[in-house]
Amino acid sequence: MSIEVWPFLVSRNRYLDYRTVVAPDFICEAKTDNLLARVTTGDLTEPEKGFIRQIFGSKVGDFTIVYRILKATQKDLNYQAGDEILKDQFGREILIIEGVVIQGIKSQENVFISPKNMEEVHQKLTGGYTEFWEHRDPHPAIPSDKLFLSIDGSSSTLQLEEIELFQVESPISNHNQEKESVGFIKSWGNNVNYVVFL
């Protein structure tokens, strides 16, 4: 059994706040990569667990995301040795939100992704995160290519917690255009906050 996916990554570095770092090529082309930073929420995930969320009404159509939230370590920077947790300029631990986009709406019962699959995705994202780690100014998200994840009958699958579906709002009418600059404030865990501007 195989599934067609596109890897994505949301994180921050020492200088830049949380944002979409890597996104599917078709989402980058539509210039809507900030949506992934808006829709990924939750606490740190335990081993063999993850989140699933359905996204409706985006510029690129409806899609489903499966992701996990981990503490970023030195090993996430191009295979550097060490388990030291990466921190921002204020000494706060940095999280990485990594996962896959699946085109179309998929239910929790119909998505089979193994921990081994997620490790494969993680390795694909390491280069992009290493590049982003050196940025001091905002850059567009790095596009990711389609990937086929395979799972056999003997593999365990991620236990997925379903997050409430996300409906992308229709464009704001002209007389309310000033509202476009309102930021969305979110938190991951108890101590990480960031603002994403539309």
Structure-block tokens of residue 102: 């699946």
The pLDDT of residue 187 is 45
Q: How many CA atoms lie within 13 A of 124 on its CB side?
A: 25
The pLDDT of residue 2 is 87
**The one-letter amino acid at 78:** N
The alpha carbon of 81 is separated from its chain's Cα centroid by a whole number of angstroms, namely 24
The pLDDT of residue 175 is 41
In this structure, the number of other CB atoms found within 10 A of the CB of residue 188 comes to 18
**Partners of 183 in the beta sheet?**
197
Look at the chain and count its residues: 198
Q: To which residue do tokens 């992701």 refer?
A: 67
Q: To which residue do tokens 């770092």 refer?
A: 21
Question: Do 67 and 50 touch, CB atoms closer than 8 A?
Answer: yes
Task: Domain ranges for the chain, please list them.
Answer: 2-197
The pLDDT of residue 79 is 61
Helices (DSSP H) in 40-106: which residue ranges? none
* DSSP 3-state of 55: strand
- The string of DSSP letters for 81-109 reads S--PBPB-TTSPBPEEEEEEEEES---GG
Question: Do 95 and 70 touch, CB atoms closer than 8 A?
Answer: yes
The alpha carbon of 154 is separated from its chain's Cα centroid by a whole number of angstroms, namely 28
If the chain, 198 residues long, is cut into consecutive pieces of 10 residues, what is the mean pLDDT of each piece?
94 95 97 96 94 97 98 84 88 96 94 94 94 93 95 86 92 45 42 45
The pLDDT of residue 172 is 54
